[in-house]
Amino acid sequence: MGIFKKLGWFFKKEKTRYIIGITFLALTSFANLVPPRVLGLMADQLDQGHISWGQYGMLILAVIAAAIVLYILRYFWRKQIWGGAAELERQMRSKLFAHFMKMDRTFYQRHRTGDLMAHATNDVSAIQNVAGDGVLTLVDSLMMGVSTMIAMIIFVDVRLTIVALLPLPFLAWGAQKLGNRLHDAFNESQAAFSRLNNKTQESVSGIKVLKTFGQGKEDTAAFDKMVQDTIKINRRVFVWDSLFDPLGTIIIGLTYTITIIYGGLLVTNHVLSIGQLVSFIAYIGNMVWPMFAIGYLYNILERGSASYDRVQKLLDEQPLITDAHADESLTAKDIDGDLKYQIKSFAYPDEKDIPVLQKIDFTLHKGETLGLVGRVGSGKTTIIQLLLREFDDYDGQIALNGHDIREIPLNVLLRQISYVPQNNYLFSTSIQKNISFSQADAGDNQVIEAAKKSDLHNDILQMPRSYQTLVGENGVSLSGGQKQRMSIARALLKHSQILIMDDALSAVDAKTETEILKSLKKERQGKTTLIAAHRLTSVMNADLILVLKNGRIVERGNHEQLLSEDGWYAEMWRRQELEEKVGDANE
Ligand SMILES: Nc1ncnc2c1ncn2[C@@H]1O[C@H](COP(=O)(O)OP(=O)(O)OP(=O)(O)O)[C@@H](O)[C@H]1O
């Protein structure tokens, strides 16, 4: 029952809806008492042999009226109570989604995407069940059980009621025990099914690798074993499930037997009329559901409560990045200026002892371009992540137009930045929508313009439905270079003060790179651009190039200055130039 307390905030908010729903539900239970009573009266009159067609008609009309009233009442309580459950589901999902949007990278490192999805689907469904099935079962079984018992005592006989209902608590007990077993077995079967799904997905995605490494047979054998295991676990579900119905049949059969023997005795001794016995037998039918319901309710509430705790635990996690120190008066205009990094040191939260950045000092004037180069793992992406406020906990400061970025409201800061990440993300929708994602109100011409600037327009024209072609799971698959150019088009459409490209040209050829850089230069005039790259031609026109090694700046300057320094940059430049020439000669 604790779950009803936990959900108190919701029931309070939806008070009216539930009061109406429960009232109609209670009326339904009372209306359910009518048909058995009418049946009894009919039996008595038949027994006494003095029933007229008129009386007969009246009784039939009473049963029909009860059925119509039941129909209407059911419609109303269903609408109220199921509506309430759907509303709770909506609120919980929105809460979770808003929370996911607020959380930072460390949250996603702690929780796997699959688990988060399970919370947003299975757990929310279990909680929703409390507000729907849970409330219904509790109120309905209580009302129906109690009112039927009262009707049995008033209209029939208290002794018969006590004796006949003796076996029913065993039904409640058995239903709860079996329900638990069934629930555990069902959970196991779900987990097994999900493992099977993951395995299928993995094998299908990696089918080429499996085949080229000659692992096809082994993988098929492993898959077969997994299928066998899944079937074994599923069989357990069927065993528990098939014990459920017979339990009901035995106990209800016992109740009927007792009723017929003891009730028959009472009729013979003229303590009861035939009609009363007929009503009683019909009332037993009304008692079956409340008894099953006790076990059923227990499971719904237990599951709902466990799910609620799991979801609440997630919601209680606080993001590391907040607007706690933000100066809410700052606007886009206030932060339009120089970008200044003065970082003494930074370490990732899960590896606090290993500084990833040290002494990162530089100023990039408004409108300038910064190039970040260095070996794999030298710290290029980390420098970018700090500007995107993925992490706030560093020694030093990053300032935009003199304002510490931790004092700029997150949405103000992020709205001024366009970011092309290393891993491009495409949505399962049209190319047009993928590009205009950053600017939903962009017109067709603007989208085409952005695609032209990122050298993607001609590729799109070749596609089956041009800009309306679907990409992702249900559509065409794009090459690595096309995905990168689509991400660039999306970023260019936003016209933001700062553009960040993290290794965003790695999958395009040299000629395409030159074209894109040329349009970027034109497009980004007067606006700040940060480019992290392995290919030095991507940054050769930058105003300032930083060479990083183990998280420190080891060389800095523009292209000419760095060449004349004859350090890592110059050596890398010569090597890449040579590789380019060899590549061209081979073509
Ligand atoms: N989330 C993280 N937690 C802990 N360490 C990390 C995390 N992300 C990166 N690192 C480490 O920080 C260092 C710098 O990584 P970073 O990704 O900034 O390098 P990079 O120069 O961008 O590399 P690449 O050229 O491969 O993109 C590396 O040693 C990396 O292993």
Query: Residue 119 has which token pair?
Result: 């919370």
**Average pLDDT, whole number, for the chain?**
88
Rounded distance between C-alpha atoms, residue 26 and residue 39, angstroms: 22
Question: What is the whole-number distance in angstroms between the Cα of residue 398 and the centre of ligand 1?
Answer: 19
Separation CA 382–CA 372 (nearest Å): 11
Q: Which positions ≥6 away from 99 have C-beta within 8 Å? A: 314, 315
Alpha-carbon distances of 440 from 434, 443, 446, 482, 501, rounded to whole Å: 10, 9, 11, 21, 21
Residue 338 CA to ligand 1 centre (angstroms): 26
The Cβ-side half-sphere exposure at 108, using a 13 Å CA radius, reads: 9
3-state SS, one letter per residue, for 42-87: HHHHHHHCCCCHHHHHHHHHHHHHHHHHHHHHHHHHHHHHHHHHHH
Q: What is the structure's pLDDT at 34?
A: 82
User: Kindly report the CA angle at 516 between 511 and 518, in degrees rounded to 5?
Assistant: 95
| Amino acid at position 5, single letter | K
Ligand 1 centroid, distance to 377 Cα (angstroms): 5
Task: List the structure tokens of 453.
Answer: 């600037």
How sure is the predictor about 118, in pLDDT bands with cuts at 50, 70 and 90?
Answer: confident
Q: 3-class secondary structure for 400-449?
A: ECCEEHHHCCHHHHHHCEEEECCCCCCCCCEHHHHHHHHCCCCCHHHHHH
pLDDT at 587: 59
Beta-sheet strand order (sheet of 395-400) = 357-364, 339-346, 395-400, 403-404
504 C-beta neighbours (distance < 10 Å), count = 25
Task: Give the tens place of pLDDT for each residue, 19-56.
Answer: 999 999 888 888 888 888 888 888 888 888 777 778 77
Strand partners, 360: 343
Cβ–Cβ < 8 Å for 295, 176: yes
Residue 129: per-residue pLDDT:
92
- Stretch 80-92: mean pLDDT, rounded? 93
- ipTM, two decimals, is 0.95
Q: How much is the pLDDT for 161?
A: 92
- Distance, in Å, from the CA atom of 583 to the CA atom of 565, rounded to the nearest integer, reads 27
320, 360, 378, 548: which to mutate for ligand 1, most atoms within 8 A of CB?
Answer: 378
Q: How many CA atoms lie within 13 A of 100 on its CB side?
A: 16
The percent of residues above 90 in pLDDT, for the chain, comes to 43
What's the mean pLDDT in 529-538?
94
Backbone dihedral angles phi then psi of residue 554, each to the nearest 5 degrees: -105, -20
pLDDT reported for residue 264: 92
pLDDT of residue 475: 63
* pLDDT one-digit tens code per residue, 90-106: 999 999 988 998 888 88
Tell which atom from ligand 1 comes closest to the C-alpha of 351. 4
| Closest C-alpha residue for ligand 1 atom 25 | 376
When computed from its CA atoms, the radius of gyration of the chain, rounded to whole angstroms, is 36
Task: Read off the pTM.
Answer: 0.70
Q: Whose CA is nearest to atom 24 of ligand 1?
A: 376
Q: Find where tokens 């023997």 sit.
A: 261
Q: What is the reported pLDDT for 251? A: 86
CB 473 within 8 A of CB 500: no
Which amino acid makes up residue 67? A
Query: Residue 306: what pLDDT?
Result: 85
The token pair at 235 is 């069989």
CA 374 to ligand 1: nearest atom = 21
